[in-house]
Amino acid sequence: QELAGILCRMPKAELHIHIEGSLEPELIFALARKNGIELAYPSIEALRAAYAFTDLQSFLDIYYAGAGVLQTEDDFFDMAWSYLNRAKADNVIHAEIFFDPQTHTARGVPFATVINGLDRAVRRGREELGLSASLILCFLRHLSEADAFATLEEALPFRDKFIGVGLDSGERGNPPEKFAALFARCRELGLRLVAHAGEEGPASYISDALDLLQAERIDHGVRCLEDPQLVARLAAQRIALTVCPLSNVKLAVFPELGHHNLARLLAAGVVATINSDDPAYFGGYLNRNFTATFDALPELGAREAYLLARNSFEASFVAEETRKEWI
């Protein structure tokens, strides 16, 4: 009703979106056909029916398989252009977009193909949609630190096309400390630093991402509530969490949206934001994440809507002068 209208119409930033997670089944099938790739599912409906995840790993298996249809620079452009148009429709005015180069270079797709396609979409988004967007290179934490260093080397000739680095994929057994040297190097290079932590992993992974990786923002981070001292630190230092409510329910981090801890995080003074994570897989883009979460949590009202939009700008990596105009 009225609140839903406010949520959908208000300008906002999206800070946690994996571009490969915006690949819709229709585009997966179109690209598979164009590129002569055999899919494990006979139809769009059969693929969509397989989106019944039990945990993070069961999702990642299907997500990496879906990304396997991307071959040419135009494929990467089409995927990102489609996301940017969806984001525009949700009144997203700024997006910081993750991409997973190792998923593609491991299949023989050159790094240049990936980033040039994505960069072309980002630039067209600025020009034609008036949507500011930038790219964040994510390292896959289930692979070795040496593999990540090699990817960083490949990326450096394109240093001007991404603003920072992140850490994603399976959290359990792949703690932040595995990538301490890599993140130290990225920091020296002037890259902005974020990391997934405290989605499936324990609260200690959040503290370690801050202390050992110097992460400036935590992706997910919802398990911080298991450590009251950590919550106090996040609030005091205004370290933002990029929370993804529909993702958390689809991957069974919470049993249902009504059990999500977003309202508690905000009440504790944590700079939380709402994001879509992998919208093609988790049942909705940004506005659906907002409306479904506000529907499920009665503590959330107009004040929190405004707070979440403001947090999204505060937590973004855009220049402070621009940020102030948006807030």
List the one residue from 14, 24, 90, 168 that touches ligand ES4 (CB under 6 A).
168
User: Pattern of binders to ligand ES4 over 241-270, x per CB under 6 A?
Assistant: ------x-----------------------
For residue 267, the cross-strand partners are none
Q: Does 277 bind ligand ES4 (CB under 6 A)?
A: yes
Q: Which is nearer to Zn ion, 132 or 248 (CB)?
A: 248
Q: Does 22 bind ligand ES4 (CB under 6 A)?
A: no
Q: How far apart are CA 224 and CA 227, in angstroms?
A: 6
Q: Does 75 bind ligand ES4 (CB under 6 A)?
A: no
Q: Does 200 bind Zn ion (CB under 5 A)?
A: no
Q: Does 56 bind ligand ES4 (CB under 6 A)?
A: yes
**117 contacts 80 by C-beta, under 8 angstroms:** yes
One-letter amino acid at 52 equals A
| Residue among 235, 171, 232, 233 at smallest CA distance from 197 | 171
Q: Does 21 bind ligand ES4 (CB under 6 A)?
A: yes
Q: How far apart are CA 300 and CA 179, in angstroms?
A: 37
Kindly state the tokens that stand for 42: 């006979």
- Give yes or no: 320 in active site: no
| Residue among 309, 287, 294 at smallest CA distance from 262 | 294
Q: Annotation-wise, does 16 bind a ligand?
A: yes
Give the up-direction half-sphere exposure of residue 172: CA atoms within 13 A in the CB hemisphere.
4
Q: Which is nearer to Zn ion, 68 or 166 (CB)?
A: 166
3-class DSSP assignment, residue 274 = strand
- Residue 285: name its binding partner from Zn ion, ligand ES4, none (Cβ under 5 to 8 Å by kind): none
Q: Does 96 bind ligand ES4 (CB under 6 A)?
A: no
Annotated catalytic residue: which of 96, 171, 199, 200? 199
**Catalytic positions:** 199
